[in-house]
């Protein structure tokens, strides 16, 4: 469920060009120089990104030794080149420039996730470590007596088993794959920090926080504020779930510190608790709509699912997807070759050649995912007329939030409107539906926050290499009220067992997206004139809501995200109270359940 981060690939193939042209030295730089530099970078992006995207597409759709080689080459060159452009952009730091030029230069400086030091050896070392870490994760298996299980198999145990010993084995087993990553990760942090400092940032974490149109420290405080808003709801959910799990597993397994052992929550990282729904659902919760069965009953195949999702966006006033989308996307897992099945949305030429790549199963989960992925595609096409450095989300949380916002409108009313069900069920079943959603969305919030809290502290040295694991668990305890089921030591490296750590993908975007999607949903429902419970609102077919949304999509990143927020929410601030509004009926119910329980940790 991600958009392909083309910014990472954009620079790949421009290497030979810039290597040939020596930057002019010791010359007084002018606005004209800055304009020419921007033009050069943007022209290079436009020209080369399509090539890089096609290489990446072919690699992901036809995994062979050769395409992997081509893809790796493409990515290998990227680091050096990105650093070069970022360094060149830095030369204009002290020049008085119009706002728009300044912003485009900052975007070029901020396009890096990890900055390699400006030293070919160190750049190569960093690239190797990054590739190695990613490969270690991808190939990770837990083997006992020659019998090996991968993440998929172990995750199935975590989701389905109710035997805590079996759960513990799968949980600790998966974490064995991360042990050898530890030293490499430490070296990577050193190198990346050196590169970040060369670009003028205090450390890599500060570089990541710089991309949010506000001072880095203010942004960190802003996240704390948003978390503070969600915390009472999360605490109530955690307390209830803990109590129900105690009934299942007993005090001995649970302990008496108020926290939940991480292996019992149905997900390898305890970031999504949907799999324990049956154990924690309200006693009187009715059946929620079985969308999967309804899809089957109405002969939905993969293409019809995508067509239906497209129709949602069209109902808001967006143009239908281009013919090429239907010709070039991948909807089904091919029988005769290896592909990357993880759902993704692509923008091949930064214009109209947008696609999704998924191995669609005809079920509810993938129906939601299709709506999510198309959110990326419609966003990509909407901002295609902006400068190429602005062809991205207002901030990275926005891009993830758009499709999810649409998915929040996949209500019973929507299912009736598209003919999947005949009658809208009464609200008696809503508590169950809300509980299921809360286990997915509310449970995620502190996890979404703590991942980068850990990384920021690792990058700035607050968490030193000899306490990587202790620091990780300190944060998981503090934010999630989730604890390791058995003692962990510094011989292990539990952060490495979560893809985004060895994969070096910033995570704050997912935290933001979880907050933003509810805020967008509430504001668009208001615009649509909806009255009633927020979880029953669907903006399907509402042109007024669509008009507002389209305005935001078309802005891309041309203006600070606060300006985009102003358009959609009539306010410049992110606000997590919309999430509280959405789950208000569930919160009442949780408080009632919890009133005689000992909550907190
Ligand atoms: Zn996504």
In tens, the pLDDT along 525-560 reads 999 999 999 999 999 999 999 999 999 999 999 999
Distance CA 541, CA 272 (A): 31
**Reduced to 3 states, what is the DSSP secondary structure of residue 346?**
strand
Average pLDDT over every residue of 378-390: 95
CB 33 within 8 A of CB 313: no
CB 439 within 8 A of CB 281: no
At 13 the pLDDT is 25
Decide which of 201 and 19 is more confident.
Answer: 201
**Reduced to 3 states, what is the DSSP secondary structure of residue 340?**
coil
Contacts of residue 211, defined as CB under 8 A and 6 or more positions apart, other chains included, come to: 110, 395, 396
- Dmax over CA atoms of the chain, in Å, equals 76
At 9 the pLDDT is 35
At 62 the pLDDT is 87
CB 107 within 8 A of CB 557: yes
At 56 the pLDDT is 86
Distance CA 258, CA 250 (A): 13
The pLDDT tens digits for 276-314 are 999 999 987 777 788 999 999 999 999 999 999 999 999
Handedness of CA 23, 24, 28, 34 (dihedral sign): negative
Percent of the chain with pLDDT over 90: 75
Does residue 26 surpass a pLDDT of 60? no
Does residue 271 surpass a pLDDT of 60? yes
pLDDT band with cut points at 50, 70 and 90 for residue 18:
very low
The pLDDT tens digits for 565-584 are 999 999 999 999 999 999 99
At 3 the pLDDT is 47
Q: Which stretch of DSSP H or E encloses residue 27?
A: none
Strand intervals (E) in 160-310: 260-261
Q: Tell me the average pLDDT of the chain.
A: 91
CB 300 within 8 A of CB 331: no
373 as an active site residue: the answer is: yes
Catalytic residue selected from 500, 544, 554, 584: 500
Query: Whole-angstrom distance between the N-terminal and C-terminal Cα of the chain?
Result: 33
The pLDDT tens digits for 483-532 are 999 999 999 999 999 999 998 989 999 999 999 999 999 999 999 999 99
Quote the tokens at residue 520.
């967008």
User: How remote is the CA of residue 548 from the centroid of ligand 1, in Å?
Assistant: 21
User: How remote is the CA of residue 282 from the centroid of ligand 1, in Å?
Assistant: 31
pLDDT band with cut points at 50, 70 and 90 for residue 20:
very low
Distance CA 267, CA 273 (A): 6
Percent of the chain with pLDDT over 70: 95
* Overall size of the chain counted in residues: 601
Handedness of CA 354, 358, 360, 365 (dihedral sign): negative
Characterize 350-360 residue by residue with b for buried, 16 or more Cβ atoms within 10 angstroms of its Cβ, and e for exposed.
beebbbbbbbb
399 as an active site residue: the answer is: no
Burial class (CB within 10 angstroms; exposed 0-12, middle 13-18, buried 19+) of 23: exposed
User: How remote is the CA of residue 497 from the centroid of ligand 1, in Å?
Assistant: 21
Q: Give the residue among 137, 94, 90 at the shortest CA–CA distance from 112.
A: 90
User: How remote is the CA of residue 372 from the centroid of ligand 1, in Å?
Assistant: 6
510 as an active site residue: the answer is: yes
Distance CA 35, CA 314 (A): 38
User: How remote is the CA of residue 404 from the centroid of ligand 1, in Å?
Assistant: 8
CB 422 within 8 A of CB 455: no
pTM greater than 0.85 (yes/no): yes
Catalytic residue selected from 194, 310, 373, 523: 373
Quote the tokens at residue 100.
């728009």
Q: Which stretch of DSSP H or E encloses residue 144?
A: strand 142-144
Catalytic residue selected from 135, 342, 462, 547: 342
Q: Give the residue among 332, 373, 386 at the shortest CA–CA distance from 552.
A: 386
342 as an active site residue: the answer is: yes
């Amino acid at each position: 469920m991600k958009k392909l981060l083309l910014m990472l690939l954009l620079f790949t193939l421009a290497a030979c060009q810039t290597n040939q042209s020596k930057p002019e030295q010791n010359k007084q730089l002018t606005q004209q120089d800055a304009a020419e530099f921007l033009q050069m970078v943007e022209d290079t992006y436009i020209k080369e990104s399509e090539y890089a995207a096609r290489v990446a597409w072919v690699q992901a759709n036809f995994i062979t030794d050769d395409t992997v080689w081509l893809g790796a080459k493409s990515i290998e060159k990227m680091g050096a080149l990105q650093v070069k452009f970022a360094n060149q952009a830095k030369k204009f730091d002290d020049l008085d420039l119009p706002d728009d030029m300044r912003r485009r230069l900052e975007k070029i400086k901020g396009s890096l996730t990890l900055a390699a030091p400006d030293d070919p050896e160190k750049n190569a070392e960093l690239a190797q470590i990054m590739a190695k870490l990613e490969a270690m994760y991808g190939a990770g298996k837990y083997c006992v007596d020659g019998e090996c299980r991968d993440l998929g198999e172990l995750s199935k145990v975590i989701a389905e088993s109710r035997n805590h010993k079996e759960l513990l084995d799968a949980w600790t087993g998966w974490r064995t794959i991360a042990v050898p990553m530890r030293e490499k990760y430490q070296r990577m942090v050193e190198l990346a920090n050196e590169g970040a400092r060369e670009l003028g940032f205090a450390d890599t974490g500060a570089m990541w926080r710089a991309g949010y149109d506000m001072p880095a420290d203010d942004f960190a405080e802003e996240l704390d504020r948003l978390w503070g808003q969600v915390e009472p709801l999360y605490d109530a959910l955690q307390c209830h779930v803990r109590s129900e799990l105690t009934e299942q597993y007993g005090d001995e397994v649970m302990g008496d510190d108020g926290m939940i052992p991480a292996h019992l929550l149905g997900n390898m990282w305890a970031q999504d608790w949907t799999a324990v729904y049956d154990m924690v659902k309200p006693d009187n919760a009715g059946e929620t709509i079985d969308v999967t069965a309804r899809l089957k009953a109405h002969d939905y195949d993969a293409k019809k699912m995508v067509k239906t999702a497209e129709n949602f966006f069209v109902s808001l006033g967006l143009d239908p997807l281009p013919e090429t989308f239907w010709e070039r996307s991948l909807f089904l897992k091919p029988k005769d070759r290896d592909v990357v099945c993880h759902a993704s949305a692509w923008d091949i030429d930064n214009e109209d050649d947008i696609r999704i790549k998924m191995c669609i199963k005809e079920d509810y989960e993938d129906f939601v995912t299709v709506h999510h992925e198309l959110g990326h595609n419609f966003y990509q096409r909407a901002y295609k007329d902006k400068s190429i450095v602005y062809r991205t989300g207002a901030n990275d949380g926005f891009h993830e939030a758009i499709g999810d916002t649409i998915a929040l409108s996949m209500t019973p009313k929507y299912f009736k409107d598209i003919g999947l069900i005949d009658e809208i069920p009464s609200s008696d079943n809503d508590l169950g539906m809300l509980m299921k959603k809360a286990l997915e969305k509310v449970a995620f919030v502190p996890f979404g926050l703590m991942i980068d809290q850990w990384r920021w502290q690792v990058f700035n040295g607050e968490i030193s290499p000899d306490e990587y694991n202790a620091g990780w668990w300190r944060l998981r305890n503090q934010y999630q009220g989730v604890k390791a089921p058995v003692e962990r030591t510094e011989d292990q490296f539990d952060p490495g067992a979560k893809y985004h750590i060895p994969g070096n993908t910033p995570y704050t975007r997912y935290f933001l997206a979880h907050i933003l999607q509810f805020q967008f949903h509430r504001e668009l429902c208001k615009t649509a004139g909806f009255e009633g419970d927020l979880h029953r609102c669907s903006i399907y077919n509402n042109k007024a809501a669509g008009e507002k949304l389209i305005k935001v999509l078309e802005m891309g990143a041309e203006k600070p995200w606060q300006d985009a927020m102003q358009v959609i929410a009539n306010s410049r601030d992110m606000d997590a109270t919309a999430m509280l509004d959405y789950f208000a009926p569930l919160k009442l119910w949780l408080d009632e359940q919890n009133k005689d329980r000992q909550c907190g940790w």
